[in-house]
Structure 1
Amino acid sequence: MKTKPQKRHKALQPLSREHHHGLLLTWKIRSGFNKNIDPKRIKTYADWFFETHLIPHFDMEENHIFSILESDNELIKRALAEHRRLKRLFSETDVEPKTLSKIEEELEQHIRFEERVLFPEIQKIATEEQLQHIEKIHHEAPFKDNLDDEFWK
């Protein structure tokens, strides 16, 4: 018998929506490759997305969400290691298709891990006060995309 997916607490829903935008980035990178777009164009967009959306998202998770679990928790260690690896990949200055491909693969796997494993665990452990605190400090702004070069279309 298949279990029903756990409903995401409303305090974590904005982070899940941000994850959705991260998955769209991975789709855009794949689309760029499929259309033989110059990797520099893809990297320009990926860098913008990283600076504008991922860095604030990672900061929110690392400073307010992950602390709900113990710092020696294996899930937290994994998430932090994946954040570090993604930051290193995005900071690569050489525009290599291989690096973009690693960003696409690792970001997608990381988001799936957080959504399917880490967030349900956090939600299970978090107190109502902790969730209310997250809700209070994390103000979701409408997603604004960079449409200067829509290479994915």
Structure 2
Amino acid sequence: MGSKKPLRRHEALKPLSRQHHFGLLFSWKLRKGFAESISIDRLKAFADWFFIHETQPHFKIEEEYIFPILGTGHALIIRALKEHRRIERLFRDIENPKNSLSLLEEELEAHIRFEERLLFTEIQKAATKEELREIEKIHFGTGSKEDYPDPFWGKN
């Protein structure tokens, strides 16, 4: 069995990878909410909060500073941008929130795995030292991951 050593994430990209971790937790919390029959209104309120505080700022940083390293015509960037738009539509859907939140939980997790395993690996390989230094200068908000006032995923 061949064992591949994982590529170590460059320091400049680690804050985004940490934010990805919180996105995976978000998906887990939605799954837990569905499993425990939490009302769709509560799940939607949590998703709305997460979108405003975490997802929108994260997508903005990726699209303005990280994706240009590979260029807008690169197949991985085209895929990432398409997935960003799809995820945004799922967050914003008010017509069928139960269906959208169910799809969102799955699609956000798959998107994060794609970015971590494929996209960020390619970006890290392609980035110059200067580009990585510029990324390190970006102020990544620490976020308020644990400040959501209705932790339905814990003890109720």
The alignment's TM-score, normalised by the length of structure 1, stands at: 0.96
Alignment of 1:2-151 (within 5 A): 2-141=3-142, 143-151=144-152
What residue ranges of structure 2 are gaps of 5+ in the alignment? none
Alignment RMSD, CA only?
1.2
Counterparts of 2:144 and 2:137 in 1: how far apart (Å)? 19
Contact 1:45 1:146 in 2 (8 A): no
What residue ranges of structure 1 are gaps of 5+ in the alignment? none
TM-aligned CA deviation for residue 146 of structure 1: 3.2
Runs of 4+ in structure 1 off by over 6 angstroms are: none
Counterparts of 1:139 and 1:59 in 2: how far apart (Å)? 11
Counterpart of 1:121, as a letter, is: E
Higher mean alpha-carbon deviation, 24-33 vs 92-101, is at 92-101
The alignment's TM-score, normalised by the length of structure 2, stands at: 0.94
Contact 1:39 1:95 in 2 (8 A): no
User: Compared with structure 1, are the counterparts of its residues 3 and 65 closer, same or farther at alpha carbon in structure 2 (3 Å cutoff)?
Assistant: same
Contact 1:58 1:83 in 2 (8 A): yes
Identity of aligned residues (%): 54
TM-aligned CA deviation for residue 96 of structure 1: 2.8
Counterparts of 2:138 and 2:121 in 1: how far apart (Å)? 20
Contact 1:18 1:57 in 2 (8 A): yes
